[in-house]
Chain A
Amino acid sequence: MDGGPQKPAVGWENGMLAPVDRLRTERADSPVPGLVEGTEPGAGQQSAMFVHAQSFEDLTAEAEEDVEREAELDESGEPSEDLKVLVGEETIEKQHNDDIPPERGTKEEDVSSEAWRSHRKHVFVLSEAGKPIYTRYGTEEALSSTMGVMMALVSFVEAEKNIIRSIHADGCKVVFLAKSPLVLVGVSRTCQSDKELLRELQYIYYQIVSLLTLTQLNHIFQHKQNYDLRRLLAGSEYLTDNLLHRLDRDPGLLLSAVTCLPLASSARDVVSASLQAAKAKNLVFSILLAGDRLVTLVRKKDQFLHHIDLHLVFNLVGSSSSSREGEGWTPICLPKFNTAGFFHAHISYLEPASELCLILVSTDREDFFNMSDCKQRFLERLSKRSAYQAMKEALKCPSYSVEQVGIPELRHFLYKSKSSGLYTSPEFPAIYQSDEEQERMMGLYQDLHSHLHHPTRPLRSFYRCSETENLLAWVTSGFELYLCFSPLGTKALAHSAVNKLLKWIRKEEDRLFILSPLTY
């Protein structure tokens, strides 16, 4: 009803608005798709939590700076001869994308086997000297000649003062990303666009930088061009594997957004305030996670966390399930913040059996005991309050079912508030419970997403019917919305559902989003 609008009114008069200076209407109860950025359901009331919250374009923009120098080699170009080495000849046999691929390749896989070739998506990382650094499937050693060919392709085109961007052949896309001193190559059979693939390669690049810093990376290769980087990355392969898995599965990485644990705003505010109170001189970010969901994030004034950096932190925490009793202390570079140096992250679970993980990011590597102390202060403060119990209760149902929205034909949706960089989405309904179905669903969303974010012909809305479901995607200056309906729905129904859904999200926004992020 009118839950949202009252509290912020004070803030608005004080001029504590989010960056947009455009005219703001009241936070309407019945938001319409024409809403201005900053007033859509889920928009933060005081200030944004992330930098460039709507930064899908930021992420890919870098790669597009040299568009004019683009050299796209198509099937007729000569390098496709070399390509056969990479992807194999598959003109005769019919390749079905829905062939179930082996989930996670064992490292011992034979790289000359058909099974290896038919993986849906390969990712390779190599140094500019052509030395293998990472492969998603198989071992790096076995691929040194293949990677040599990749580097040859890159240098061949570079010699002509050009840049190789992608090769399309045989239903296969080969995408190149040169990020000196590394070269990343993606080979995909999915229907993702080049831009989407490039975005994924960027993530992998940032993952590597987050472990080493770009400064160290440059330093190493300046001293020794043919350095074997695997020595330094030893043991981190599973982080990259997991990140690739997330890229296939996690809508947050697709939307460049983060989802929150549904929690009553009163409880969330208490948790945030307790975190805010447990500050220290060098503490920059305090992040409380419940699994893959954000409970709250408190940051130093004027310091913003980029969602890519946050996803890297999620990946780091999610990948190390080992000891939940101890306290972790690890250097981490947040590449979107600064590629030159390390932050130091104190990682601990609030209770051994709990999903609640607290990450305290400090600038000082000697700060372990200070951070440990911050955590204690936070816990002491929080445990006295009922909000702690409320939060633990909320953990029992970290998601919600789409039925609660009350739109009969609606099966699933993704809603992203652009100004806050947060998204919400119900759990997958029973028909999409299997891994294959979820991946297929994500594939459909990826496809919609790439239509809305097409580099030259972006669409504002897109409706698509298929035998299994009907889909609608809609982007405005304030939000991005992706809906999945049963195949029996109609287009008119889909459009009327948008308004109904927005209304519902507005009603629930206190619970689904972080409306009042805090700073120290």
Chain B
Amino acid sequence: MTIYNVTGIINFAQGEFAMLGAMVLVSLEPLGLPLPVGVAVAVAAVALMGGLVERLTIHPARRASPVTLIIITIGVDISIRGLALLVWGTDPYAISPFTAGPPLRVAGAIITRQGVWILGTTALVLAFLYVFFEHTYPGKTLRACAINPLSARLSGIRPDRMSLLAFALSAGLGAVAGIVIAPLTLVSYDIGLGLGLRGFVAAIMGGLVNPAGAVVGALLLAVLENLAAGLFRAAYKETVAFLVLFLILFFRPHGIFGGGARGGL
């Protein structure tokens, strides 16, 4: 989403960064690092990969149209998945939950401990994005670049540097997401696509430029998916994201929460 705001392109490789985050953490396991250190290293490594991807694929084509660049990100998505297949094979890996113990009961609902981690991390990431974009100079610079690219250039802001920063930041955040959900799902080389698709649908539900809206969109999507799985059959779960995507693009192209393509976050 940060990439979209800054560069106007949708990064369809975003889900792969989540996969990479979890995979790198899995690979670090033999080193026996404490979990926070491992997570930090994995996130930093994936952020670096995000920057590398930008330099190698987007940067050389930066004068191309957004559609071309979006198609490039699809190519990147396929390539990363292919490379992951070579490196990690087809076996799924497990990451143990961050804190062991039975699920918690909250007001009659049952929530796993890892679920609490996910919610907490989401809140933390949102807070980070808010502080970053509203209260730091690099964040404001990124926003300026998104709001008025012409004036940004005339102010001396280099759009290619901002694009690099946006990719690294998004990749790092993607890695955080991948790592925090990994204990609930299992990680294999091909989880990125599904994650990326759901992330994209959730972002569209939120109007594409609004991180908080995307979080609400994601919760809504997850509820719909599980309703579909529960009411009909589990296989229908996979189709919900596509169905929602179609419905929104047909009826509410600016997102279901109104507003739409504003500047800001």
Partners in one complex: no
Q: A: which residues have CB within 8 A of B?
A: none
